[in-house]
């Protein structure tokens, strides 16, 4: 901003702030906004913690739960 600008970005509604106090406030606000913004190449992608059901194994049969917990039966026919 130049000294000829008449528009103000900040306005003090109560009290009277000195130029040094306003400068300190601007520095804090700029530091906070810079800390939260990242360049697009540094944005981290977060993966959901849930699974997609269409990627899970489907239903394998009415008694498939038995074959997973019991040893395989041997037929000696």
* 2-23 per-position pLDDT tens digit: 455 556 666 778 888 888 988 9
Query: pLDDT tens, 12-61?
Result: 788 888 889 889 988 988 888 876 666 666 666 666 667 666 666 666 67
Residue 41 has φ and ψ, to the nearest 5°, of: -80, -10
By the 8 A CB rule, do 10 and 25 touch? yes
């Amino acid at each position: 901003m130049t000294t000829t600008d008449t528009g103000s970005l900040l306005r003090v509604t109560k009290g009277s702030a000195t130029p040094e106090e306003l400068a300190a406030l601007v520095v804090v606000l700029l530091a906070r906004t810079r800390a939260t913004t990242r360049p697009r190449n540094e944005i981290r992608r977060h993966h959901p913690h849930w699974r997609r059901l269409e990627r899970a194994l489907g239903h394998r049969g009415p008694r498939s739960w038995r074959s997973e917990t019991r040893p395989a039966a041997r037929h000696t026919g």
